[in-house]
Amino acid sequence: MAVDYATLKKGGFMRQKQKNNFSLRLRVVGGNLTAKQLAKIAQVSEKYGDGHVHLTSRQSVEIPFIKLDDIDEVKAALAEGDVSPGVCGPRVRTITACQGEAICPSGCIDTYKLAKELDERYFARELPHKFKFGITGCQNNCLKAEENDLGIKGALKVKWKKDSCIQCGVCLKACRTQALSLEDGRIDLEEGKCNFCGRCVKACPADAWDVTSGYIVSFGGIFGNNISKGEAIIPFIDDHDKLMSVCDAAISFFNENALAGERFKFTIDRVGKDKFEQRILEAYNNG
Residues 72-129: tens digit of each pLDDT:
999 999 999 999 999 999 999 999 999 999 999 999 999 999 999 999 999 999 999 9
Per DSSP (E only), the strands in 161-263 are 180-183, 186-189, 209-219, 222-223, 227-228, 231-232
Mean pLDDT score, 159-177: 96
Mean pLDDT score, 223-244: 97
Name the nearest CA neighbour of 119 among 104, 135, 108: 135
- Torsion on CA atoms 246, 250, 251, 255, rounded to nearest 10: 150
Q: What's 193's DSSP letter?
A: T
The predicted-structure confidence for 239-253, as pLDDT tens digits, reads as follows 999 999 999 999 999
Residue 1: band (very low, low, confident or very high) from pLDDT cuts 50, 70, 90: low
Report pLDDT for 163: 96
The predicted-structure confidence for 174-187, as pLDDT tens digits, reads as follows 999 999 999 999 99
Report pLDDT for 259: 98
Name the nearest CA neighbour of 172 among 156, 148, 193: 193
**pTM score, two decimals?**
0.95
Mean pLDDT score, 157-168: 96
The predicted-structure confidence for 29-61, as pLDDT tens digits, reads as follows 999 999 999 999 999 999 999 999 999 999 999
Q: Which residues pair with 152 in a beta bridge?
A: 135, 217
C-alpha–C-alpha distance, residues 247 and 154, integer Å: 15
Name the nearest CA neighbour of 100 among 117, 85, 84: 117
Report pLDDT for 10: 95
